[in-house]
Structure 1
């Protein structure tokens, strides 16, 4: 009886290893996808908040003469994104002429950020293969 049982068990040698080989790539893809999505979502929320803060600061200071509005907005935004790489960030402020900076007009702040992806596989799927995912956000506020 013991011999019969041991023969039956030997037939299943390697079954768990084969099952693991089938399931592990899918499981790893799922885990790394969740991590990548979380990092991209975090960067998007950070940019959205920085854009809002920059637009608010710009809307309050737009009518003051002698103030470099774009530099002020850029400084506020840089202070709000300490966890992101500021080299990959582009800041655009409209309007950029003093004649259009009048109370009641709109001030628009747009941010573009290239987020470096953690896993090369998602870099091939989400973009052109350079390893970055472009995030864009904009905020419009009325000048006070």
Structure 2
């Protein structure tokens, strides 16, 4: 049976290679983590805009439509506020479309990719009359 002998010049080479590769691996893991959080927030604000547009198309009342949009995204942190929601047009006429747009500033946790990123969700529904 052959035994492996360590050559004196290769001692500690694995530790050095790991130390060189570790920052890249950490950046990759944090990048995956932050991408997942941003994707989740984008889905949440798009859903909130769609719910607000649905409410506006059925009930033709803009202030409650903003409240419905805000309440449709409870998982966002910091929370969505009515000032981030715009309804256009404010009067829903049968046969026309209503658009609800949600603007949100997403805060990164790690800071590797900047501090914030603007996200926009848009929902469009045809007015029911």
Q: What is the TM-score of this pair, normalised by structure 1?
A: 0.78
Matched, 1:79 2:71: yes
Q: Which residue of 2 aligns with 1:142?
A: 126
- In the TM superposition, residue 87 of structure 1 has moved relative to its aligned partner by 5.2
Structure 1 residues not aligned, in runs of 5+: 63-68, 124-130
Matched, 1:22 2:15: no
Matched, 1:133 2:117: yes
Which residue among 105, 111, 114 is the counterpart of 1:114?
A: 105
Judging by fraction of residues, say which structure has more helix: 1
Count of residues in correspondence between the two structures: 122
Q: What is the TM-score of this pair, normalised by structure 2?
A: 0.86
CA distance in 1, matches of 2:69, 2:9: 64
Q: 1:57-107: CA deviations, max 9, x gaps?
A: 110011xxxxxx2321111112111111225771010012x4xx3211111
User: RMSD across aligned C-alpha pairs, in angstroms?
Assistant: 1.7
Q: Which has the larger radius of gyration?
A: 1
CA distance in 2, matches of 1:71, 1:61: 11
CA distance in 2, matches of 1:113, 1:78: 11
CA distance in 2, matches of 1:82, 1:138: 17
